Amino acid sequence: MSERTALITGGTSGIGKAAARTLHERGYRVAVTGQRQESVARARQELPDDVLVLQSDARSPSDIDKLVSEVGRQFGSLTTLFLNAGVNRPMTLENWDESGYDEVFAVNTKGVFFTLVKALPLLADGASVIVTVGIGATRSLTGSSVAAGSHGAVLAMIPTLALELAPRGIRINAVSPGMTDTPMTRASIRTATDDVAGTMTAMAEHNPFGRLATPEDIAGTVAFLASDDAAYITGQEIVVSGGAGLAI
């Protein structure tokens, strides 16, 4: 594969935006998606000029079709697909309603699956697919049961997808961040307390490394999984948590 190309869903913010910068610095042609007009506009200003920033709703099959068609027109094929768009709607158990549940699964599970399915013709043989899951999928985080289930469903698909993609030499792996300092984390904390900074400091103190992950910590692992250094790794989950969740 001569030219390296990457599509990053949810690349207008947080982990996805850091991955866009990292892959761009490493010579990839990069396209990112976001859903909200204002974050798409901000990403167009903040990311390098030659990063393609597209508005596309991961919940919408027709948006995914248009996205695949536009990326195909501009890049021809993809050597990396980073399925990262996601939402968390932290909620106490008694407050969940059907529309909130459906939205979380529509983005985090259905959106991931159908973006992969629809992008298959664009994926070069030997491409790398990376999916953001999260340590919350297999551990406890109060208020995040639905996000955990939605990411956990994708994690359960990874071994089967890996075997289905292997004949084309395509690898698929999950990257599972621990608590990462992103707009999502700050917004989630804000639903419970006004003391966002104090809460983040307290959370950092519980981490074995004494800090939360930065988006760049996760982006480095994404770049590794995208690279030929990971050429024989498929069907795996790499946890990037600074050791969070190891203690019993």
The site for ligand NAP (CB under 6 A) is made up of: 9-16, 33-36, 39-40, 56-59, 84-88, 107-108, 132, 134, 136, 177, 179-180, 182-185
Distance CA 96, CA 115 (A): 27
Question: Looking at the DSSP assignment, which residues form a beta bridge with residue 33?
Answer: 54
Least Å distance between CB 1 and ligand NAP? 26
Query: Least Å distance between CB 215 and ligand NAP?
Result: 6
Question: Which of the 8 DSSP states describes residue 49?
Answer: T
Question: Can you tell me the distance from the alpha carbon of 41 to that of 114, in angstroms, rounded to the nearest whole number?
Answer: 25
Question: Nearest approach, Cβ of 175 to ligand NAP (angstroms)?
Answer: 9
Q: Where are the beta strands (DSSP E) in 70-190?
A: 78-83, 123-132, 171-177
The nearest distance, CB 80 to ligand NAP, in angstroms, is: 16
Nearer to ligand NAP by C-beta: 88 or 128? Answer: 88
Largest Cα separation within the chain, whole Å, is 53
Of the two residues 123 and 131, which places its CB atom closer to ligand NAP in the complex?
131
- For residues 189 and 134, give the distance between their C-alpha atoms in angstroms, rounded to a whole number: 17
* Smallest separation (angstroms) from ligand NAP to the CB of 217: 11
Q: Which is nearer to ligand NAP, 124 or 222 (CB)?
A: 222
- The residue with its CB nearest to ligand NAP is 86
Indicate the residue among 124 and 128 with the shorter CB distance to ligand NAP.
128
**13 vs 128, beta carbon nearer ligand NAP:** 13
Cβ 37 to ligand NAP, closest distance in Å? 8
E strands present in 89-136: 123-132
Cβ distance to ligand NAP smaller for residue 40 or 146: 40
Starting at the earlier edge strand, list the strands of the sheet with 29-34. 52-55, 29-34, 5-9, 78-83, 123-132, 171-177, 237-240
DSSP state of 107: I
Amino acid, res. 208:
P
Q: Which residues of 139-163 are buried (b: 16+ CB within 10 A; e: fewer)?
A: eebebbbbbbebbbbbbebbeebbe
